[in-house]
Structure 1
């Protein structure tokens, strides 16, 4: 499948099965995703695998962030969560927003690669990604921020994800205005 075909075929799978790629299966996908454009090759990102009880710890951290006594069920909706972390580096050339864009690019590219490999993927974010309880559960360092999680599992047999609206490229690809 070409990159063009993979991009056109990409869908979010909000419901996945209990199957998930192994750590060893993830490694080449992460290596490929890490090839995104990265000004000064700072690699201002890292990924954290959450499986099994890790998801329960996250469920408790989200509950704490929300002020709830009941653990959140959200982290249990997929057998594998991949936390996407922006790890900001000191740089006089590469601003913070650009470093966050690199981390986001890695996450999106990884989601395309996982989808192409046959896995169901969706990216979950939320206000609690920036809370102390959730940051602590992930062991985030001082110059790191959690951007969200890729939820990964098997694609249910016979199910199709909901279709996204077509992109109106003509409306979104514009030209610079004429000189005045």
Structure 2
């Protein structure tokens, strides 16, 4: 896991091949093991392939007030829409349910990368727009977190440099054991 995290890089360029639904189901099953308070499973994943990407492009254009469909969904043969499904709970607030869904998206991106696929998590200003929600058939309790763009690694994949590591001293601190 440590090596997978250290090696992970977003890939903005992917090839035309993508994992099939059977391989994807296995990876989603593994990603489902993220921390999930009260086991609410407040998430789902929607496969967006083929002409469904055109429908998404039209929804993005509608949300932006454009006449021409967005070509962004066509940049990858497979988009995985990650959706938070907010569940009624007295113990688990909405932000925690969104965190679980985001954890699934990140775990899934690591698993896809480990399986040899290129992955890029995309969002944007219209991620939670009405036309985009409608094309994904989202319910009242559901919010789109974004899409994982998935495909075979492009030519630049082999030459990509590792992501610059964080200086832990900049982000890691300790709460004093005694009050100041």
**Equivalent position of 1:172 in the other structure:** 171
Corresponding residue to 2:117 among 113, 116, 119: 119
Unaligned segments of structure 1, at least 5 residues: none
8 A contact 1:83–1:146 mirrored in 2: yes
What is the CA–CA distance in structure 2 between the aligned matches of 1:20 and 1:31, rounded to whole Å?
Answer: 18
8 A contact 1:88–1:143 mirrored in 2: yes
Moved more, 160-169 or 99-108: 160-169
Shift of 1:161: 3.5
8 A contact 2:56–2:73 mirrored in 1: yes
- The superposition leaves residues 4-35 of structure 1 with CA deviations (integer Å, 9 ceiling, x where unpaired) of 11111111000000010000110110000000
Shift of 1:163: 4.2
What TM-score do the two structures reach when normalised by structure 2? 0.96
- The superposition leaves residues 94-142 of structure 1 with CA deviations (integer Å, 9 ceiling, x where unpaired) of 0000000000000000000000000000000012011000000000000
Corresponding residue to 1:88 among 72, 86, 89: 86
Counting only pairs closer than 5 Å after superposition, residues 11-160 of structure 1 correspond to structure 2 as 11-157=9-155, 159=157, 160=159
Shift of 1:158: 5.6
Give me the CA root mean square deviation: 1.1
Shift of 1:162: 5.5
8 A contact 1:48–1:82 mirrored in 2: yes
- The superposition leaves residues 21-64 of structure 1 with CA deviations (integer Å, 9 ceiling, x where unpaired) of 00011011000000000000000000000000010000000000
8 A contact 2:127–2:146 mirrored in 1: yes
Shift of 1:73: 1.1
Unaligned segments of structure 2, at least 5 residues: none
